[in-house]
Chain A
Amino acid sequence: MTLQRTKSQKVLRFLGNNTVPILFLVICAFGIPLSGYSTNYLVSEVVVRIARNSFLIVSLLIPILAGMGLNFGMTLGAMAGQIGLIFISDWGIVGIPGMLLAMIISTPISIALGLWCGKILNMAKGREMVTSYIIGFFMNGIYQLVVLYGMGSIIPIRSSALVLPRGYGIRNTVNLIGIRKSLDNVLTIKLFGVPIPLVTFAVIALLCIFVLWFKKTKLGQDMRSVGQDMEVARAAGIKVEHTRIVSIVISTVFAGYGMILYLQNIGTLNTYNSHMQIGMFSVAALLVGGATVSKANIRNVFLGVILFHLMFIVSPMAGKNLIGQAQLGEYFRVFVSYGVITISLVLYEVRKKRDRGDAGQLLAAEQGEAE
């Protein structure tokens, strides 16, 4: 038996379920003309952003599958990736071999961090998100300890271009000229004057296929069941804790690779803050794509990247043309990124309550009949 709803209720429900994407469509609809950018420019920019960010965002999908919410702990993976990059740029390994080597280096670090993160999150069931968020901060401290004090003193770094003049610690920015765009430039075609890095897209496509395939595996199935109800899963003999940890490990490792992809496109590494925002922006983008804390798919990823980064590109210019201050636009997009996360988290919680409410209404309706 299902509850009968009126048309208006249905519409409201639809709006309620897609608030964030709709919101963003509106923002972009206003922002694009205001910014006065040419379509061509915007498209090419967006293409670049897709190539740059989507891998990172896809790495968020698997913990959501396992019901652990948005993995703000992906920053851990980002750190691992950066460490890999620091090493290869110290050794002077360039091009695609350089990237691959960086990935190989990052993998064990990611796995270790992922395991640790997963264990912690198992200790904080029901509070995964805020915990993973704090884990991000905590690890940032450790990361600084290693990179700012360890590297050059304990961990050998020879290149003077990397090490601070004081003799240890990595500089604020590391120039990744060696691997800059090395993947993007392997094979690029121009569509209507829009350069498209085919290989990068191929890699991303591969990852998407992996995720789809993964959902079909036993492990994927286990994660789905754990995500729905840990107790039932445990009763059925599924190793709940282990499954959750695995999901985090996978996510962390992919985040590491994603970070390497991201940085090879950007070309310079901000040693001490690249990783910190990446988590936040990826999460925001995913949510903009219409994902929730409990449900997300590939479609959300790409829709998210497009909408979110459109907003990102246009807002400074729009701000400039609107009030005459580009800075305003920059603040605006920061506000929006955080605002989006806030809104979707709130909506998620409210929706959870509303669905419970539905159950109540249903029973009340029964009583109505009974009376």
Chain B
Amino acid sequence: MKMKFDRQFWVRCAAIVVVLLFGMLMFFIGKQHTILLDNKTITVNGQEIRALQLVEVQVNKLESLELAARDRDKVDVTRQSHKITITYTDSNWNEISFTRKFKVPLMEEMVIISIPTLVSDPEADQSLWLEKYELPAYAIQASPEEEVVITDDLAGLISL
């Protein structure tokens, strides 16, 4: 089998490249991220930022979530860049609503957004209020018991 650098060869190369690119595109737009929305009092470099009493959060066009103080909720999204809309009433009862775009790092399974930090300074860089989230160890070791692997392909025969 000898290589011929004719037209067909190049067409094939091109096709392969296209497919690969398409695959990567799929990876980008298909990758699922879990965004944790957290409304807790936290301290960012010394100063304490208090949680809001009640805040309404909407990510993209998904149905909006109501978070009371010390609440945490999650949304699953695909693709990287999203926008978050936050609606709350400040101390002197006038309702404030603002929308903020942000980008989730590609390889992050799970990120957490601290609402109070975001509210305190909507223009701040996303690194301040969005950080990756590691599941606590116990969550991973969900099933410590060794499970037996059934390679017998007859198992499926009866219960199909």
List residues of chain A with CB under 8 Å of any chain B CB: 88, 91-98, 100-101, 104-105, 107, 140, 144, 148, 160, 164-166, 169, 171-172, 178, 270, 272-274, 276-277, 281, 312, 327, 330-331, 334
Report B3-47 CB contacts with A as 1/0, cut-off 8 Å. 000000000000000010011011101111000000000000000
List, in ascending order, chain B residues with CB within 8 A of A164's CB: 146-147, 149
CB of A95 within 8 A of CB of B78, answer yes
CB of B29 within 8 A of CB of A148, answer no
User: Given B26, B78, B143, which contacts A100 in the complex, CB threshold below 8 Å?
Assistant: B26
User: Given B78, B146, B150, which contacts A97 in the complex, CB threshold below 8 Å?
Assistant: B78
CB of B149 within 8 A of CB of A172, answer yes
Given contacts A94-B78, A165-B147, contact A178 B32 (CB under 8 A): yes
List, in ascending order, chain B residues with CB within 8 A of A140's CB: 153
Chain A binding surface SS class:
helix
Report B141-160 CB contacts with A as 1/0, cut-off 8 Å. 01111110111111111111
* Chain A minimum-CB-distance residue to B30: A97
Q: Does chain A have a CB within 8 A of B96?
A: no
CB of B151 within 8 A of CB of A277, answer no
User: Given B19, B78, B140, B146, which contacts A104 in the complex, CB threshold below 8 Å?
Assistant: B19
Q: Does chain A have a CB within 8 A of B109?
A: yes
CB distance from A15 to the nearest CB of B (A): 31
CB of B160 within 8 A of CB of A277, answer yes
Given contacts A92-B109, A164-B147, contact A97 B29 (CB under 8 A): yes
List, in ascending order, chain A residues with CB within 8 A of B147's CB: 164-165, 171-172
CB distance from A155 to the nearest CB of B (A): 17
List, in ascending order, chain A residues with CB within 8 A of B157's CB: 277, 334
CB distance from A217 to the nearest CB of B (A): 16
User: Given B27, B149, B153, which contacts A276 in the complex, CB threshold below 8 Å?
Assistant: B153
CB of A331 within 8 A of CB of B26, answer no
* Chain B minimum-CB-distance residue to A333: B160
CB of A277 within 8 A of CB of B27, answer no
CB distance from B66 to the nearest CB of A (A): 26
CB of B158 within 8 A of CB of A101, answer no
List, in ascending order, chain B residues with CB within 8 A of A94's CB: 30, 32, 78
CB distance from A262 to the nearest CB of B (A): 12
CB distance from B61 to the nearest CB of A (A): 16
CB of B146 within 8 A of CB of A165, answer yes
User: Given A165, A276, A330, which contacts B143 in the complex, CB threshold below 8 Å?
Assistant: A165
List, in ascending order, chain B residues with CB within 8 A of A330's CB: 158-159
Given contacts A165-B143, A331-B158, contact A273 B150 (CB under 8 A): yes
User: Given A98, A105, A148, which contacts B151 in the complex, CB threshold below 8 Å?
Assistant: A148
Given contacts A164-B147, A172-B147, contact A93 B32 (CB under 8 A): yes
Given contacts A104-B22, A273-B156, A330-B158, contact A165 B30 (CB under 8 A): no
CB of A165 within 8 A of CB of B144, answer yes
CB distance from A266 to the nearest CB of B (A): 10
* Chain B minimum-CB-distance residue to A137: B153
CA distance A98 to B78 in the complex (A): 11
CB distance from A8 to the nearest CB of B (A): 41
CA distance A331 to B140 in the complex (A): 40
* Chain A minimum-CB-distance residue to B152: A273
CB of B23 within 8 A of CB of A104, answer yes
List, in ascending order, chain A residues with CB within 8 A of B143's CB: 165
CB of B158 within 8 A of CB of A274, answer no
